[in-house]
A and B are shown apart, each in its own frame.
Chain A
Amino acid sequence: MKPLLKVTRQGVHASVQDYGRFGYRAQGIPVSGVMDRYSYELGNQILNNEANAACLEIFVGGFEFEALSNHTYVLTGAVGDYYLNGEVLESWKSFRVKKGDILSLKSAVEGSILYLIPRGGLNVELVLKSRSSYPLANIGESINVGSILYGSEVEPLPNMRGLMGDYRPKFDTVVQVRVYKGPHFELFTNESVERFLTHSFQYIGGNRMGYYFKGEGLLLQEKKEIISEATQFGTIQVPSSGEPIVLMADAQTVGGYPIIGTVHEDDLSKLTQLRTFGSVMFHLMEEGD
């Protein structure tokens, strides 16, 4: 255990995450794990980490850290105003931090979620085979002022590494995502289905459990009690308000709202990076695509 960073200022929300906790959904335990898998994977590749190395996932920014030891890191995900001892820090490139340095992640500007990844990953206890936090069930520790993040002693990277601009994901304010028909797709009115697939829906807020969208209501042909069934990261639920909720990485394992569709796994990353008042358009996939 090597102490890496001490939190000296806290922002909206940060948590330790890896790929997620698999194999426990039948017991009601969500998968959790990173929201933007793509940025996370690339970050670990830049540092030559194991694919499942744990990182700190930060919403929007607002965090400041004091370095407790020399170590190498990378920032991926949202691009923003980030500083090391007051100097502008570029994300998507590895960087070295010396003991006593101040790392300030002020605010995301493009995208909403950033990943702070140390070489070798964060060292936290495995709970049910994963390092991902799930606060609702008291799994993992909350990250507040005074929290210390630990890593491991690892061979330093021989060279600084990074990803060239063209290869970095773009974070748009309007995202297009592919969806599969949900189990209750046929229960919606024709007009609702058409609206769902041709209109955009505005992101009005959310968290690791779900993103809320505003738009013209999606209505069932007739009122119907839905029998609860399995849900996942990407499930698009429609409560009686008619406004869709997309379940996110901490998705509850079962839900009782009508499910109009499910977002294609490969399109989840860009959806998670939406900023408030950004919007999404859903495009129907055919079975077997």
Chain B
Amino acid sequence: MNDFPKMMWVSQNTLRFAFSEEISQESFLLVQHFNRFIRKFLQHQIIETVAGYYTITVYLKGRQHVSYEKLLEQWQHYQIETMNGSHLIGRELTVPICYDEEFALDMERVMEHTKLSYEEVVSLHSGRSYAVHLVGFLPGFPYLGELDSRLHVPRLQKPRKLVDASSVGIGGRQTGIYPIDSPGGWNIIGRTPHRLFDVKNNEPTLFQTGDSVTFYAITKQEFYNMNQERV
């Protein structure tokens, strides 16, 4: 049975639950599981929740009484009820990326740092499935883990003033995609023709915490074709 996360009041209307402090697939699953639990059991008391790498932050509708003991008991029941794990399956998305030099502004820096060839960088980056650990920093920005350790490259010393929307970056142990034009310090290695953030959609963001994502490489021609279809 999983441990109960530590609970603290961040402010009078905000509760924070924390599992052990780490970035891992285990803590990702645990956080997703607990997030579903808390959204269900406090559904009438909460505005919204934000799941992080090891934390779940719960924004309450004003000051609420929340009993730690009662939650603990319910969480144990919930875990037994949901033991088969089917509840943990999020959406599986496949996302095209063009790694062409037109978009891959930092590919040379990445190749130099990793001593990998262009083809190796592309195949390592697109060759595995990533979990959306967290969405934030910018509207719809997905923090994706875990990046193959051979692709761990430090962030730019001086962040770019402007990274174009839909640019794909790697930084440290993570990879992500910029949803809107913004400053940014990650190494840019490609671009997706997809739009990640559109306020006119019912679901304004392409990615949601808990999704799993696989990338596949496309040519520049395919990129522009898809880009046109999108409009």
Contacts and interface: CB of A to CB of B under 8 A. Distances in A.
A230 interface: yes
A263 B14 CA distance: 12
A36 B38 CA distance: 31
Contacts of A262: 10-11, 14
Contact of B136 (A127, A181, A253): A253
A30 B199 CA distance: 13
Given A27-B140, A27-B204, A228 B53 contact: yes
Interface in A133-172: 136-139
Interface string A245-289: 000000011100000001111100000000000000000000111
Contacts of B23: 227
Given A183-B8, A183-B18, A24 B204 contact: yes
Interface string B179-212: 1101000000000000001010000110011000
A127 B199 CA distance: 7
Contacts of B135: 26-28
A26 B204 contact: no
A288 to B, nearest CB: 7
Contacts of B16: 183, 229-230
A24, A138, A228, A252 interface centre (most CB from chain B within 10 Å): A228
B107 to A, nearest CB: 26
Contacts of B140: 27-29
A100 interface: no
A136 B52 contact: no
Contacts of B51: 26
B10 A228 contact: no
Given A180-B10, A232-B10, A27 B139 contact: yes
B139 A29 contact: yes
Nearest to A253: B136
B95 interface: no
Contacts, number: 120
Nearest to A286: B9
B217 interface: no
B136 A228 contact: yes
B3 to A, nearest CB: 18
A139 B179 CA distance: 14
A254 B50 contact: yes
A254 B52 contact: yes
A28 B10 contact: no
A265 B11 contact: yes
B43 interface: no
B199 A227 contact: no
A159 to B, nearest CB: 32
Contacts of B134: 228, 254
A254 B140 CA distance: 12
A232 B21 contact: no
A206 interface: no
Nearest to B13: A265
B40 to A, nearest CB: 15
- Chain A to chain B: the 4 pairs with minimum beta-carbon distance, closest first: A254-B136, A230-B57, A230-B50, A229-B52
21 contacts: A24-B48, A24-B139, A26-B135, A26-B208, A128-B204, A137-B197, A137-B199, A138-B180, A181-B8, A183-B8, A183-B16, A227-B52, A228-B134, A229-B54, A229-B57, A230-B52, A232-B14, A232-B59, A253-B136, A254-B134, A262-B14
Interface of A: 22-30, 127-128, 136-139, 180-183, 227-230, 232, 234, 252-254, 262-266, 287-289
Given A229-B54, A252-B136, A289-B12, 11 more contacts: A27-B139, A27-B205, A128-B199, A136-B180, A227-B21, A227-B22, A229-B55, A232-B57, A232-B59, A252-B138, A264-B11
